[in-house]
Amino acid sequence: MSAVIDVAVERAATPGCATVAHLNNAGAALPTNATVETMVAHLHLESERGGYEAAGMAAGRLSGLRASAARLLGARDGEVVVTGSDTQAWAKALWGFALGGGIGRGQVLLADRTAYDSHYLGLLQVGALTGATVEVVPSAADGTIDLGALADRVGSGQVALASVTHVGTHRGLVNPVEEAGALCLSAGVPLFLDACQSIGQLPVDVERIGCVVATGTGRKWLRGPRGTGLLYVRTGFAEKLEPPGIGSGAALWEDAGHYRLQAGTARLTEFEVPVAAHLGLAVAIDHTLALGIGAIATRVADLAGQLRAGLGAIAGVETHDGGRQRCGIVTFTCAGVSPAAVAAAASAAGINLSVSDGSTARLDMGDPRPTSVVRASPHYYNTPEELERLVETVTGLRAGT
């Protein structure tokens, strides 16, 4: 049984909770005091002792970050590296596989319809330069990936990789990734998992899912700093990757004409990194682990359910999440009021929201679904009163139409 989160304690440890109802955690969550103070303290240390010297003094904590990230994802030690973003992690893995010879002319790169733009654009770019073709797996009636269609395609012998999104960033739909992983594993097709919107709000166990690559970010549900990301690569698969760009430490420079890549995920690391941000991410991940992802998932689901119920009771308001499983991303439209106007009215009421636009989700938004929706994403430190404030704001907007 998951422990219950002490919301009052979490809010007291989060300065932003005193100034705003932050319902944009799918964009970037509010960090704790501890995360911010850790980063600031290291910047002071750099100014007092020097950047290289300060990094050396933090070496143990930086090593601990990778171990904590692996624990969070159900991975083995050494299978997770820290990157600058989810997109950077995705590019390292995708281009690494292509440059390593894993993608050839005439092969197929599969994607699901909830793919985010940076992931799908990467597939298009790699396909254009390797001669591979990008194909989209259709969705089932509830919006999730059609497992039957996925099984047919991965069993064709033509597929170089399957890219599957765990949680769609634009409308919070949760895909059945363990079932998808089992299908890919059975067919011998590498599964690349976009876990950008699931890490930190839902359990993500890479062993159970069966993916060979998973990517995520620190700034969303993990409550870490911007400019941080995570890249998981399964043991043995890393040797198939020839990373685009080789930094100091990722390879050994043997002589004037030769180099040798490091073993495993070491070949994917960068020498120059924002150490303060990495230390802040370490604090954020350890905080997530201490609370327990089960407790976080339960709290987030409860709050999101309350918000859907409140919005659903307003005439002219429609939610658009879809799927059998719901998460902390709640998307909706308000008849007669544009999503941008809803977000602006919420901001005036001290509520942070965001707007999901079809330009970042070309495969899943648009007829018959709207091309733009309001996105609200409560985290465990939010309260029912903050959700009610949003419901009241939307109610007022509808009354004025």
pTM, two decimals, is: 0.97
Distance separating alpha carbons of residues 121 and 231, to the nearest angstrom: 18
Q: What is the pLDDT of residues 315-330, one digit of tens each?
A: 999 999 988 899 999 9
Residue 23 near residue 394, CB atoms below 8 Å: no
Q: What is the mean pLDDT of residues 377-392?
A: 98
- Average pLDDT along the chain: 96
SS3 track for the chain:
CCCCCCHHHHHHCCHHHHCCEECECCCCCCCCHHHHHHHHHHHHHHHHHCHHHHHHHCHHHHHHHHHHHHHHHCCCCCCEEEECCHHHHHHHHHHHHHHCCCCCCCCEEEEECCCCHHHHHHHHHHHHHHCCEEEEECECCCCCECHHHHHHHHCCCCEEEEEEECECCCCCCECCHHHHHHHHHHHCCCEEEECCCCECCECCCHHHHCCCEEEEECCCCCCCCCCCEEEEECCCCHHHCCCCCCCECCEEEEECCEEEECCHHHHHCCCCCCHHHHHHHHHHHHHHHHHCHHHHHHHHHHHHHHHHHHHHCCCCEEECCCCCCCCCCEEEEECCECHHHHHHHHHHCCEECEEEEHHHCCCCCCCCCCCEEEEEECCCCCCHHHHHHHHHHHHHHHHCC
Q: What is the pLDDT of residues 132-143, one digit of tens each?
A: 999 999 999 999
**Confidence grade of residue 368 (pLDDT, cut at 50, 70, 90):** confident
**Confidence grade of residue 248 (pLDDT, cut at 50, 70, 90):** confident
- What pLDDT does 269 receive? 96
First to last CA, the chain: 46
Residue 1 has pLDDT above 80, yes or no: no
Of 114, 97, 107, which is closest to residue 231 (Cα–Cα)? 97
**Confidence grade of residue 360 (pLDDT, cut at 50, 70, 90):** confident
Residue 2 has pLDDT above 60, yes or no: no
The pLDDT > 90 percentage for the chain reads 93
Residue 330 near residue 319, CB atoms below 8 Å: yes
Q: What is the pLDDT of residues 87-129, one digit of tens each?
A: 999 999 999 999 999 999 999 999 999 999 999 999 999 999 9
State phi, psi for 321 to the nearest 5 degrees: -70, -50
Q: What is the pLDDT of residues 34-69, one digit of tens each?
A: 999 999 999 999 999 999 999 999 999 999 999 999
- What pLDDT does 341 receive? 97
- What pLDDT does 3 receive? 80
369: CB partners within 8 A, 6+ apart? 171, 320
- What pLDDT does 310 receive? 98
Residues 294, 203, 61, 224, Cα dihedral to 10°: -90
Tokens of 157: 């012998």
Give all domains of the chain, ordered by start, each with its CATH number: 7-31+292-399 (3.90.1150.10), 34-290 (3.40.640.10)
Q: What is the mean pLDDT of residues 285-312?
A: 98
- What pLDDT does 4 receive? 92
Distance separating alpha carbons of residues 132 and 117, to the nearest angstrom: 18
- What pLDDT does 369 receive? 84
